Amino acid sequence: MMEALLREMEDYAQENHVPIINEGARDAFCRIICEERPHRVLELGTAIGYSALLMAGMGAEDIEVVSLELNEARAAKAKEFIRRSPYRDRIHVLYGDAAELLGSLHGPFDFVFMDAAKGQYPRYFRQILPLLEKRAVVLADNVLFRGYVLSKEKPPRRFKTITKRLREYIGLVQNTPGFTTEILPEGDGLAVSRRMEHDG
């Protein structure tokens, strides 16, 4: 049942030009979710709910996903798809700007999937820090942004700010005490930042 629904969502995304987790990154994404089996997930950027449903299907049995989406039509479509799944009571889609909604959320979350406005990643990271469990994973998609982020070549003008902010994001997670970060090249680049439990 889930397989058919996911295929339908992939077709819908393609036909309507909705960006969903890139095929190249999907295996790595699924592997990480299966390894972590999170209980309480925060997603920034729902689109039509595709990644939220993947996470719900591979996380812990008691998984709950809170997912934020700025585009009203997409948030509505996501709710429609999610209602047709076995996870209808486990995924909560909130419509609005992630940076604003984050101020009203209560943690703790043990897993965050960051996949909304790329230029806002450093800001999102600072905002989610107080909402994280001691042991938590923050997975950020598109951090290599078409190869510009690690390239010595100058990005085209229109991508200058995004590239700069994503470099800032990588520097930020690498320099935040308690986190270790791995950058995976799959898809458009995934940053996996793990917060390790420590005493005191």
102: enclosing H helix or E strand: none
Q: Is 97 in the site for ligand SAM (CB under 6 A)?
A: yes
Q: How far is the CB of 95 from ligand SAM (least distance, A)?
A: 9
172 touches 125 (CB < 8 A)? yes
Q: Kindly state the number of chain residues that form the binding site for ligand SAM, as judged by CB under 6 A.
A: 17
Which member of 38, 51, 58, 132 binds ligand SAM (CB under 6 A)? 51
47 versus 82: smaller Cβ distance to ligand SAM: 47
Which member of 36, 64, 69, 188 binds ligand SAM (CB under 6 A)? 69
Q: Is 8 in the site for ligand SAM (CB under 6 A)?
A: no
Q: Is 21 in the site for ligand SAM (CB under 6 A)?
A: yes
| CA dist., res. 86 & res. 90, Å (int) | 9
Q: Is 77 in the site for ligand SAM (CB under 6 A)?
A: no
With 0-12 / 13-18 / 19 or more C-beta atoms within 10 angstroms meaning exposed / middle / buried, residue 30 is middle
Dihedral angle sign, alpha carbons of residues 13, 9, 90, 92:
positive
Determine the residue type at 175. Answer: N
From the list 13-21, 102-110, 175-183, 190-198, the region that binds ligand SAM by CB under 6 A is 13-21
Which member of 5, 60, 71, 167 binds ligand SAM (CB under 6 A)? 71
Tokens found for residue 125: 């990271």
Q: Is 19 helix (H, G, I), strand (E, B) or coil?
A: coil
- Range list of β-strands (E), 49-189: 64-69, 91-95, 109-114, 132-141, 179-184
- Residue 27 CA from chain centroid, whole number: 15
Which member of 33, 58, 63, 70 binds ligand SAM (CB under 6 A)? 70
Q: Is 32 in the site for ligand SAM (CB under 6 A)?
A: no
Binding site for ligand SAM (CB under 6 A): 19-21, 45, 47, 50-51, 68-71, 74, 97-98, 115-117
